Amino acid sequence: MIVGVPRESFPGERRVALVPAAVPNLTKTGFQVVVEAEAGARAGYPDADYAAKGAKIVSDRAEVFRAADIVLQVLCYGSNDRTGKADVALFRSGQALIGFLRPLGSIETIREIAAKGVTSFSVELMPRTTRAQSMDVLSSMATICGYKAVVLAADTSPRIFPMLTTAAGTITPGRVFVIGAGVAGLQAIATARRLGAVASAYDLRPAAKEQVQSLGGRFVELPLEAKDAEDARGYARAQDEAFYKRQRELLGKVVVESDVVISAAVIPGKKPPILVTKEMVASMAPGSVIVDLAGERGGNCELTRPGEIVVEYGVTIIGWFNLASTVPYHASQMYARNVSAFLLHLVKDGKLQLNTDDEIVRETMLTQDGEVVNPRIREFFSLPALPGASKGVTKS
């Protein structure tokens, strides 16, 4: 079975789906690996390193798709809305596709992939279970984003983070406030603490308190009770506007007292809630920094401009997204480990084992045999259930 790794085509994307170190784990189990020339160059992985590990390098992108039984990408068509459509013509029936597909984005895009007869797997849909932990790409990329958000903030802020006792007196530590203590938020807390800042965090999920405190952060408790704060997958649930209004009122004082605010409150399939208003921004000290990790979907800050850095009321608001791509060497390494583990789970004896009784397969498989087959996605887009969808079916 041949695994193909094309070069990422999204503008500015520097990651690669497979790194050289991951190739031997696949070849020793019977895979052949074909890599498009220069696929890993922008992440720090030259073609020679792939060849040394047993991969075949080809210069023609179309040849990668022609040869591959399974295509591994970071941003597949769906998550790549700029240049991804060009790959659709290269797909062939029976081929498998693994990568970010943005399944809650456009149903038309998913149907285009389905119409080519591709069996696609969306890594965003990986269940957050112990069994699937080694395959959890979202957590890996969120870890990178949380780290980079703090580094960006520290580089942008006119203040330093650590407390220093100097001949010129004592410098007080920076104050970093993290809104949303998921994987990205927790890594932001850990990184801010390592840089010497005083870190605090808020999350509407009660379970987050212990995690924040374990990293040395202060958990901000608000006299608010969220209804069904998290879903079965561990993500925060959307609340009504009355809740968010009261939440903003209570968060305002903490935001105003902070030198840096990092917002990471994202709800899958929903527009992120506005948690930092323009009034809060106007009340912050000049030189303060907001890094909005929800920027790609509109942002948690009312003044965020997706993909841009703006200064409002003397406060710098960073709305960049795809931050993982700015640390491509290790982001690619983590991604490759996750997708390799997933690939080895899917393929046995040289064949895809598509047993939908297996939660990992059932939750991640997006398209098969010309249909959008994922139950969650069909429900999200109000599509009728497929015949026999409730029964596990094994295909290969």
Annotation marks residue 139 as catalytic: yes
Percent of the chain whose pLDDT exceeds 70: 97
Do residues 142 and 183 touch, judged by C-beta distance below 8 A? yes
Catalytic residue among 128, 159, 237, 376: 128
The reply to whether 60 falls in a domain is: yes
Closest alpha carbon to 103 in 392, 381, 377 = 377
The reply to whether 137 falls in a domain is: no
pLDDT of amino acid 334? 98
Annotation marks residue 133 as catalytic: yes
Taken in order 141, 143, 146, 148, is the CA torsion positive or negative?
negative
Read off the pTM: 0.94
Model confidence band, residue 389 (pLDDT cutoffs 50, 70, 90): low
* 3-state secondary structure at position 199: strand
User: Helices 137-156 & 183-194, crossing angle to 10 degrees?
Assistant: 40
Catalytic residue among 69, 87, 136, 292: 136
pLDDT of 393 higher than 60: no
Same domain, yes or no, for 117 and 166? no
Q: Tell me the pLDDT tens digit for each residue of 112-150.
A: 999 999 999 999 999 999 999 999 999 999 999 999 999
Catalytic residue among 159, 193, 235, 313: 235
Q: Tell me the pLDDT tens digit for each residue of 335-366.
A: 999 999 999 999 999 999 999 999 999 999 99
Q: Tell me the pLDDT tens digit for each residue of 260-297.
A: 999 999 988 889 999 999 999 999 999 999 999 999 99
The reply to whether 133 falls in a domain is: no
Same domain, yes or no, for 168 and 255? yes
Same domain, yes or no, for 260 and 353? no
Domain housing 234 = 142-321
Annotation marks residue 218 as catalytic: no
Domain-terminating residue out of 321, 350, 368: 321
Same domain, yes or no, for 90 and 152? no
Q: Tell me the pLDDT tens digit for each residue of 93-121.
A: 999 999 999 999 999 999 999 999 999 99
Percent of the chain whose pLDDT exceeds 90: 89
Same domain, yes or no, for 161 and 271? yes
CATH number (domain holding residue 175): 3.40.50.720
